[in-house]
C-alpha cells in the first residue's frame, strides 16, 4: 500500500484550560490519527520557563507515543514535521522503537534493524530545561503485587507520595483504596479508534513498550501536578530477555529493564527536563524477593490482580480476576506459593494451579524446559526453577502433580524455605537508587 510508506509526526498541542493533550500522526496519503490525553485537576497557569519545559516534554511524548501507530505498517521512512531532531533525539527514539518493538517484530516475522531510523535534522545538542520542580514523589500503580510493595516501603519510611495511574480500571482503583493511600492522580489516555480499524483490516499489531510510553506521560505530568520523582516498581528479573533474534536481545520487558531506565534517565535529564528523577525502587530485588515482601501484606490478597486480562486495551474484552490460564497467572502463583501457603493461594486464585495437569506446557516454558521464556512480565528461568524445586521440599506442596513431575526434570537444587527467603532478599548491585531510597528499601527489608 503505497500510501503507507511514510509515517508522519504531524503536530502536538497542550490546552491547559481543559487539561488536554492532542498528538497527531498519519501515513502519507493514508490514515491520520489523533491521540488524546486528559490530565484531570492539573494546573492551568505556568511561567514562561515552565511553558518552555512543557513544550520540550510534549514533543518528547509525541515521539514516544507514536510507536502505537507506526507499528501498523512499519515504513522505512519517518518524517517529523513539527520539530527538528538532534543527534540525541534521533538516537534515543531509534533505539526505543527498535528494541521496544522487538517482540512485535518476532511475532510478525519482521526484521526492523534497517527499517527504523529517526531523521537527524540538526547538528546541535538538545539542552534540558532547567525549570525547578516541586520536591515530591509519585508511585505508578498497576494493580499487581510490585507497585503495592513500593507503596508499603514508602509508607513504612514515612515518605510522602501520591499514587498515579493511566487509564485506571477496577483492579487499580481497588488496590489504591485498600492501600489507604493519598488521593491518586488519574490520567486518561485515548488511542485513536482508526488504529483498531486498521488492525481489523489486517495491519500489523502486537506488543509495544507500554511502560516506556507511560513514563513519558508521567514526565510530562510532573509539571502539571507538581512532582520531581517517579518511583517505579521494576525488578532485577525484568532485565532477562526472552530470546535472541537477528542479533537483538528480544525482551518483552524492555521498557521495564535497567537498560531502558538508564537510557530514559540520561535522555530526559540531559536533553528534556534537568531536575526530573526516575528510578525503580525494587530494582535491587528479584521477583522472588518482591514475593517475599508482598506476602507480608495480606490485606492486598483479595484485591491485587496481575492477570493481563484485567487490563485488555479493549474494555469489552477485559475479564476481572485471575484467568488461571496464562503465563502471568502461572508465574505469580509459583512465586507466591512458598511464602503464602496452599490455603492462602487457593483463596486468591480459586484453584491449585500446581496440581492441574493442563498447566504443564505453560510451566515448562517458564522453567526453560520447552520453547522460550513466555512473552510476559514473568521471572527469570533460573528463579522459576529454584522456586519449583524449593516447593518440592515443602510437605504441603510436594505432592502436587506438577511439582512432583517437573521437579524431576530440573537438576538444580531447591532451598529450605528460610534459606529461600533470605537468599531472595539479598540485593543485586546494579540499580539507580538514590542513597535515601536505598535506605528506605533496606529498612523495609529488615523490618
pLDDT digits (tens, 9 = 90+) for 161-205: 999 999 998 889 999 999 989 999 999 999 999 999 999 999 999
CB atoms within 10 A of CB 33: 20
Q: Which residues, in sequence order, are bridge partners of residue 108? A: none
CB atoms within 10 A of CB 396: 11
| 232-237 mean pLDDT | 95
| CA atoms of 365 and 368, how far apart (whole Å) | 5
pLDDT above 80 for 212: yes
Among residues 442, 380, 392, 446, the alpha carbon closest in space to that of 417 is found at 392
Residue 268 neighbours by CB under 8 Å, 6+ apart: 60, 128, 219, 276, 278
Q: What is the pLDDT of residue 125?
A: 81
- The mean of the pLDDT values for the chain is 94
Q: What's the predicted TM-score (pTM) here?
A: 0.94
Q: What is the pLDDT of residue 320?
A: 73
pLDDT above 80 for 133: yes
Q: What is the pLDDT of residue 121?
A: 82
Given pLDDT bands bounded at 50, 70 and 90, which one contains residue 224?
very high
Residue 180 neighbours by CB under 8 Å, 6+ apart: none
Q: What is the pLDDT of residue 251?
A: 92
Residue 60 neighbours by CB under 8 Å, 6+ apart: 216, 219, 220, 268, 272
Given pLDDT bands bounded at 50, 70 and 90, which one contains residue 4?
confident
| 357-381 mean pLDDT | 93
Amino acid at each position: 500500500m503505497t500510501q503507507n510508506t511514510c509515517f508522519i509526526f504531524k503536530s502536538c498541542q497542550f490546552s491547559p484550560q481543559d487539561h488536554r493533550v492532542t498528538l497527531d500522526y498519519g501515513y502519507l496519503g493514508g490514515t491520520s490519527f489523533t491521540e488524546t490525553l486528559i490530565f484531570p485537576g492539573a494546573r492551568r497557569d505556568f511561567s514562561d520557563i515552565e511553558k518552555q519545559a512543557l513544550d520540550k516534554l510534549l514533543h518528547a511524548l509525541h515521539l514516544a507515543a507514536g510507536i502505537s501507530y507506526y507499528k501498523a505498517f512499519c515504513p522505512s521512512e519517518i518524517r517529523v514535521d513539527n520539530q527538528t531532531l538532534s543527534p540525541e533525539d534521533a538516537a534515543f527514539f531509534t533505539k526505543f522503537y527498535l528494541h521496544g518493538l522487538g517482540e512485535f517484530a518476532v511475532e510478525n516475522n519482521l526484521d526492523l534493524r534497517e527499517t527504523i531510523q529517526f531523521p537527524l535534522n540538526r547538528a546541535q545538542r538538545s539542552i534540558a530545561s532547567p525549570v525547578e520542580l516541586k520536591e515530591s514523589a509519585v508511585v505508578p500503580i498497576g494493580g499487581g503485587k510490585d507497585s503495592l510493595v513500593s507503596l508499603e516501603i514508602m509508607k513504612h519510611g514515612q515518605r510522602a507520595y501520591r499514587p498515579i495511574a493511566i487509564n485506571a480500571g477496577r483492579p487499580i482503583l481497588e488496590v489504591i483504596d485498600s492501600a489507604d493511600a493519598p488521593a491518586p492522580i488519574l490520567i486518561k489516555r485515548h488511542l485513536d479508534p482508526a488504529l483498531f480499524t486498521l488492525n481489523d483490516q489486517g495491519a500489523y499489531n502486537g506488543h509495544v513498550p507500554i511502560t516506556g510510553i507511560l513514563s513519558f506521560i508521567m514526565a510530562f505530568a510532573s509539571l502539571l501536578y507538581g512532582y520531581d520523582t517517579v518511583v517505579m516498581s521494576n525488578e532485577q528479573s525484568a532485565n532477562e530477555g526472552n530470546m535472541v533474534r537477528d542479533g537483538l536481545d528480544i525482551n518483552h520487558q524492555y521498557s521495564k529493564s535497567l537498560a531502558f531506565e538508564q537510557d530514559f534517565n540520561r535522555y530526559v535529564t540531559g536533553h528534556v527536563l534537568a531536575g526530573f528523577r526516575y528510578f525503580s525502587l525494587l530494582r535491587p530485588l528479584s521477583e522472588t524477593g518482591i514475593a517475599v515482601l508482598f506476602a507480608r501484606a495480606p490485606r492486598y490478597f483479595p484485591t491485587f490482580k496481575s492477570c493481563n486480562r484485567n487490563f485488555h486495551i479493549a474494555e469489552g474484552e477485559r475479564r476481572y480476576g485471575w484467568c488461571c490460564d496464562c503465563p502471568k497467572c502461572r508465574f505469580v502463583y509459583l512465586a507466591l506459593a512458598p511464602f503464602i501457603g496452599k490455603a492462602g493461594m487457593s483463596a486468591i486464585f480459586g484453584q491449585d494451579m500446581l496440581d492441574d495437569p493442563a498447566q504443564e506446557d505453560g510451566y515448562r516454558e517458564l522453567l526453560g524446559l520447552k520453547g522460550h521464556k513466555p512473552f510476559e512480565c514473568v521471572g527469570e528461568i533460573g528463579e522459576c526453577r529454584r522456586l519449583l524445586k524449593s516447593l518440592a521440599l515443602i510437605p504441603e506442596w510436594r505432592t502436587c502433580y506438577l511439582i512432583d513431575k517437573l521437579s524431576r526434570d530440573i537438576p538444580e537444587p531447591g532451598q529450605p524455605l528460610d534459606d529461600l527467603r533470605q537468599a531472595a532478599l539479598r540485593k543485586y548491585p546494579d540499580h539507580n537508587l538514590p542513597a535515601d531510597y536505598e535506605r528506605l528499601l533496606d529498612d523495609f527489608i529488615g523490618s
